[in-house]
Structure 1
Amino acid sequence: MNGTQITVVGNVVNSPSRNRTQNGSVTNFRVASTERRYDRSTETWGNGNSFFVDVECWGDLGGNVSHSISKGDPVVVVGTIRTDEWESDEGRRSRSRVRADAVAPNLARGVAEFRKTQRSEPRADEPPVPTDPGAQEFDDGEPRAGRDYQAAVEALDHVNADDLTGEPAHA
C-alpha cells in the first residue's frame, strides 16, 4: 500500500520521547511549520499560519533522533502522513501524524556534525554499502583526502578569459 509522502520543514515543539512497544521502539515528537509572509505595506516579514504535526520514528531512526534532536531544533522530516480518528466526549476528533523515513537538522538554519552509527547487521531494504579498501576511519574530526570536502584558495579549474565566448545555439 502506498501512502501519501510529505516533507515538513519546521521546528521541534517538544522534546522527543522514546518508548518501547510490543512492535519495537518508537520515538515521538511534534513539529510546527510556520509560513513566512512579506508585508509590502510595512516592508517587513511576518508569520502566517502554522501547521502542527506529530512525528513517529521507529527502530534505528528513532534511536538516532532521540540522541540528536532537541526541542526548538530546526528540522526537515520526510515520511508518510496519515490521519488518526477517534470518538471523544466532544465528538469525532482527528490528528495528523507522519511516520518518518528520515529526519535531519535544517542546515539552512545552522550546522551539524554527522557521525555514522554502527549496525550489527544490514537492513533488508538497503543495498550494501561499497567499501573503499584504502579508506581509514578517523575519529579526530580532521578532513581526509577523498573523504571530506576541503576548502581551497584556488579554483578547481583555471579559467582563461578567452575561453568565455558563448557557445553556438543548438537547433
Structure 2
Amino acid sequence: MNDTIVTVVGNVADDPRRKTTQNGAVTNFRMASTARRFDAATQTYVDSGTFWVDVECWNTLGGNVSASVSKGDPVIVRGTLTTHSWDSDTGRRSKPQIKAFEVGHDLTRGRAVFRRDRSERALERTDGVDTATGELHPQADEPAQEYPSSEELRAGRDYVGEGETLTSAEDPDLSQEPANA
C-alpha cells in the first residue's frame, strides 16, 4: 500500500466535534497551516497561502483530542493524506483530509501539561470523555493527581516523582558514539 504520510503544523480552525458511528468514535476538526517566509527586501516575515485540511481522529486518539484540543490551539498532526470527494449541485468537489495517527500541541508556541492514561484498561474506555459533549470527566477508579504549577514548570522542573533523571550521566552504557568517517 502506498499511503501518503504527512506531518502538518498549523492551528485548529474550529472546535473538535466528536460523534459515535458504527465503526467507532471519531473526532473531526479543521486545521489551517500558513507558510511564512522572510522577505529580505522589507526585513519582515510574509505569510503565503493557507492550506486548509480536515482532520479525523478515531477511537482513543479522538477522545484525547476532544478533551485536549480547542479552536486556536497550535498543533502538529501526522497521518495519512487522502482526498474526500463528493457530488454537489455545481459538479464534482473534493478537499484534502488527514486520518491522524498522532496529534500534539506545538510546544514552540506554548506549554502543556501531559496526563498519561493510567492503564491498558484506560485505553479501552472513553478516557473520561463524554462522547456527547466532549467534556473530560474524572474516572471513579482514578486517584486525583496534582499537576505542577506554572511557576514550577518555569523553574525547570523536568521530572515529577522521584526527582531522578532517567539515566545517570555516569552510566557505563552511555559510551560515546563513533564519529562518521
Q: TM-score, normalised on structure 2? A: 0.70
The aligned residue for residue 129 of structure 1 is none
For residues 4-153 of structure 1, what are the structure 2 equivalents within 5 Å? 4-118=4-118, 119-120=120-121, 139-141=145-147, 143-145=160-162
> In structure 2, what residue type is equivalent to 1:107?
L
After superposition, the Cα gap between the structure-2 partners of 1:20 and 1:170, relative to the gap in structure 1 and judged at 3 Å, is closer
Moved more, 64-73 or 40-49: 40-49
Per the alignment, residue 154 of structure 2 pairs with none
Letter in 2 for 1:144: G
- How far off its partner does 1:49 sit? 1.0
3-state SS, counterpart of residue 120 of structure 1: helix
Greater shift in the superposed pair: 40-49 or 23-32: 40-49
Residue 89 of structure 1 and its aligned partner are, at CA, apart by 1.5
Q: TM-score, normalised by structure 1?
A: 0.73
CA distance 1:51–1:148, shift in 2 (3 Å):
farther
Q: 1:94 to 1:66 in 2, by over 3 A?
A: same
Identity of aligned residues (%): 50
Distance in 2, Cα, partners of 1:72 & 1:78: 18
Cα 1:5–1:139 shift into 2, 3 Å: same
Report deviation, 1:2. 4.1
CA distance in structure 2 between the partners assigned to 1:121 and 1:65 by the alignment:
15
Partner of 1:133: none
Where does structure 2 lack aligned partners over 5 or more consecutive residues?
Answer: 125-142, 149-159, 171-178
Q: In the TM superposition, what is the alpha-carbon distance from 1:146 to its structure 2 partner?
A: 5.8
How has the CA–CA distance of structure 1 residues 61 and 170 changed in structure 2, closer, same or farther, with 3 Å as cutoff?
closer
Verify the 8 A CA contact 2:11 2:32 in the aligned structure 1. yes
Give 1:36's aligned amino acid.
R
CA-to-aligned-CA distance 1:43-99 (integer Å, 9 cap, x gap)? 111211110100000000000000000000000000001001122121111111100
1:23, 1:36 → 2: CA distance? 38
Q: Give ranges in structure 1 of 5+ residues lacking alignment.
A: 124-136, 150-155, 158-168
Query: Who wins on radius of gyration, i.e. which is larger?
Result: 1
The CA distance in 1 between the partners of 2:56 and 2:165, in whole Å, is 32
